[in-house]
Amino acid sequence: MATTVNPIDIQPRQVANKSDKRALLDAIRMTLKIQSPAVRHNTQTFNRNRYAAVAKIADYDQLKDHARQIKEQAIADSPRLLKQLEESVVRNGGHFYLAPSAFDADNYIRNVLVQHGVKLVVKGKSITSEEIRLNHWLEASGIQVAETDLAEFILQVADEQPSHIIAPALHYSRERITALFKRKFQTNLPLDTGEELTKFAREKLREQFIAADAGISGANLIAADTGSIMLVESEGNIRMTTTLPPLHIAIAGIEKVIPSREQFGTFLELLPASATGQPLTSYVSILHPPLKAPPFAAPGKQEKPREFHLVLIDNGRSRMREDPVLREALYCIRCSACLNSCANFETVGGHAFGGETYSGGIGGSWEAGTGELMNARFSELCTACSRCVNQCPVRIDIPWLNENLRQRMNQAQSPSFGRSLFGELAGSAPQDRIAPLQKQFFGNYDTFAKWGTTVAGPANSSLESPFFGSVMESVFGVDHRRELPKFPDKSWVDLYREEHRNGAAPQAGDRPALAVFADVFTNFGYPERGMAAIRVLRKCGYDVDLTPSVSDGRAALSQGMIDTARHHAEAMLKVLRPYLDSGRLLVVVEPSVLAMFRHDLCHLTEDQSLFETLRSISFEPMQLVWKAAQDFGLDLRSRFPAERWHHGARLFYHSHCQQRTCNAATETLDVLRACGFDVVTSSVECCGMAGSFGYKAEYYDLSMAVGEDLFAQVRKAEEGEPPRQLVASGISCSEQLSAGLKRPIHHPLEILDGIDR
């Protein structure tokens, strides 16, 4: 579907609006070719710093709860707060304008500037001004706009949209900025270091600050009780923008209003740490405009009294407030933690994983909320890996927002008889039969896996045929370069039943009784792994039973087929009920399914108390192995001695993204090390495969580019040393590692099971 345009000829603005899928695909190609190294370096630095910074906040979780509570209350109470804020601003001597639309905001600001005879305005720290295309509007009226934030200055020179919500030019390497400045300013000055570039920009901007007739700023937060504005920044330009010119206009979305100035403190603790990993940014301004300080008059200019206008922008936000899903996006404080912790974003940045203004996992909701639904198409790059969920300081469930956007985009398609018939045969819920064939194929994995396993021989022969591969690519968009997993002759449940028939099942142990959930991915894809789980848990003394295999809803949910996911989840809960009633703990081998029990199921079932029960009794198997050692004194070193594993004791272990989000990863490492293995671990957020994402032809290149970080970590761990055995907990991760490194991948349970004592 991608065009044949050479990626180096694609300008970011040409592909900013992703409502046409070709723009998204071109943007991916362009960013992979040009921007990826700078985006990777900068986002990963922010991300590392963020982990270090939040680890030092003693009451981090309580702070997040408190911030969430403030924002929930503020949005619920928004109409009253806006009235109160208006009174506060007027009482302070300022002007207040609530703009229903982008047009109204632009018009109001233009009129104020024209009335004051403004010819040059300095501006900074306002992504909202980008949303309303303010520069364009003012320049069309003959008013010059000078961006004063260094990154925004770079973008203005380059004529590009932001690629990141706090570091808008993060896609530029130092070398590219040098080349840009030399080309645009026709200068021979040395611009080869960060200092030289900053000095050059600063000298240009100083002239503008002194000459400007007005300053336009954004606002991180606004307090309704006092009319105070909080601004955090690194460069000091906002301080100059808001204090030097006599006329100051602050623009912000209505969601920035919170009840009181005292509440700024909570966000000041969270925002810089979540954004750049700083305990506090270099400049924090809490303004109470209009300023009372004497006005500044540049040489040769007449002194004018200070004047302040607060322009609050609705532009779809009230609609978002009424929307049960998009309302959550209004809690966002634009810290960018969700961008920097997202492996896909780290690889392509916001010029691909973003729209005309907003980017990253949260960006789709903002583009849809303030514009058109289809502008959020780039949210397809959200694989629901969940890595951003714990990083969000206001606890926004970003993957859930994106799954809903996907559902809405699916349902915006025109009906088709073929898709509907296919959906009926495959098992889609009636409302989801409108979804594209590719989504219905991946969303009904359980159906196809069941069919494939029933006729495993012929099905596997087909998988090897190039003709079948090209049919799968053209009909279902499955990339021909990916090897589809073979169907087993016997599913996990078949193997388990066979074991029982042969009387080989060991007697019940004296530890807690377990029900191992036969998830469809392990059941039809890796049944031997499932059996290894059962054997290892029994070796640890547990009484283990296997449930029937049913879909948990994960596959459908990830395709935005939420109704299908709900049907699957409800059916699964019926199957699990007797196991829960009998008091068994639930064990889940595949980490993405564990994430369903621990987290996503809350969206799919009305029975929240059942969800809470499941969340508290579901475990990754290695957690229970570790529990056997910790609580019951099992000596892992003698039970599973590393030196008896015939592949050696040196391992490279990659845990699954959702396993880490569920806090269910460290025990694997603990167990392997306790058994005597020498383990090096990966530190990537996600391997890039992410379930079906890496299989999709249009995203294969991105998926492999994301995986490159993981492959590089393996190579680095083996530099000058003999190779390590590769170990992964997730099916997707195994497939990605195998595709990238062409080596066998082991599961931790299979290692323990394979130890020959």
The residue ranges that bind ligand SF4 (CB under 6 A) are: 274, 332-338, 341-342, 344-345, 361-362, 382-388, 391-394, 396, 398-399
Please, which residue, 212 or 394, has the CB nearer to ligand SF4? 394
What is the closest distance, in whole angstroms, from the C-beta atom of residue 365 to ligand SF4 in the complex? 9
Q: Give the whole-angstrom CA distance, residue 27 versus residue 31.
A: 6
> Partners of 544 in the beta sheet?
514
Smallest gap from residue 431 Cβ to ligand SF4 (A): 23
Closest residue by beta carbon to ligand SF4: 361
Q: Nearest approach, Cβ of 343 to ligand SF4 (angstroms)?
A: 7
Closest among 479, 558, 551, 543 to 522, alpha carbons compared: 551
Closest CA to 601 of 555, 552, 544: 552
Q: Which is nearer to ligand SF4, 118 or 561 (CB)?
A: 561
All residues at 6 or more sequence positions from 232 whose CB lies less than 8 Å from its CB, including other chains: 220, 268, 271, 272, 281, 283, 284, 285
Contact 757/641 with Cβ under 8 angstroms? yes
Nearer to ligand SF4, 12 or 393 (CB): 393
Q: How far is CA 430 from CA 21, 122, 324, 416, 620, in A?
A: 25, 54, 22, 13, 34
CB of 391 to ligand SF4, least distance (A): 6
For ligand SF4, the closer CB: 63 or 675: 63
Least distance CB 117 / ligand SF4 (angstroms):
38
CB of 705 to ligand SF4, least distance (A): 14
Q: Which is nearer to ligand SF4, 201 or 333 (CB)?
A: 333
Phi, psi at 390, each rounded to 5°: -75, -10
For ligand SF4, the closer CB: 336 or 438: 336
| Min CB(339)–ligand SF4 separation in Å | 7
Contact call for residues 524 and 454 (beta carbons, < 8 A):
no
Pairing of strands 221-223, 229-233: antiparallel
Residue 726 DSSP SS3: strand
Instruction: For ligand SF4, give the closer residue by CB, 398 or 702.
Output: 398
* Closest CB 290 distance from ligand SF4, rounded Å: 30
C-beta of 718: minimal distance to ligand SF4 in Å? 28
In the complex, the smallest distance separating the C-beta of residue 688 from ligand SF4, rounded to whole angstroms, is 10
Whole-number minimum distance, CB 712 to ligand SF4, in Å? 20
Residue 734, sorted as left (phi over 0), alpha (psi -120 to 50) or beta, turns out to be: alpha
Min dist CB 342 to ligand SF4, Å, is 3
CB of 102 to ligand SF4, least distance (A): 21
**Rounded-to-integer distance, Cα 152 and Cα 135, Å:** 12
CB distance 228 to 286 below 8 Å:
yes
**Closest approach of ligand SF4 to the CB of residue 332, in Å:** 3
Our CB check for ligand SF4 shows the closer of 523 and 661 to be 661
Segments in 77-188 forming alpha helices (H): 78-92, 102-115, 127-131, 134-140, 150-158, 174-185
Helix, strand, or coil here: 302?
coil
Q: Coil, helix or strand for 58? A: coil
Minimum distance between the CB of residue 275 and ligand SF4, rounded to whole angstroms?
8
The residue among 382 and 426 lying less far from ligand SF4, judged by its C-beta, is: 382
Q: Which amino acid is residue 95, in one-letter code?
A: H
Q: Where are the alpha helices (DSSP H) in 699-745?
A: 700-717, 731-741
Residues ≥6 apart with Cβ < 8 Å to 157: 180, 181, 184, 185
| Cα-Cα end-to-end distance for the chain | 55
> Does residue 356 contact residue 163 with C-beta atoms inside 8 Å?
no
> Strands 650-654 and 725-728: what pairing?
parallel
* Inter-residue contact 515 to 586 (CB < 8 Å): yes
Task: Note whether 595 and 656 are within 8 A (CB).
Answer: no
Residue type, 685: E
DSSP notation for 119-145 = -EEEEES-HHHHHTTHHHHHHHTT-EE
Rank residues 387 and 696 by Cβ distance to ligand SF4 and give the closer one: 387
* Complex with ligand SF4: residue 255 or 753, whichever CB lies closer: 255
- CB closer to ligand SF4 out of 105 and 398: 398
| CB closer to ligand SF4, 127 vs 671 | 127
Q: Provide, rounded to whole angstroms, the least separation between the CB of residue 740 and ligand SF4.
A: 19
The residue among 388 and 518 lying less far from ligand SF4, judged by its C-beta, is 388
Q: Which is nearer to ligand SF4, 240 or 388 (CB)?
A: 388
Closest CA to 394 of 225, 221, 167, 260: 221
Contact 111, 253 (CB under 8 A): no
Alpha carbon distances (Å) from 562 to 27, 86, 383, 553: 28, 41, 15, 8
**392 vs 449, which CB is nearer to ligand SF4?**
392
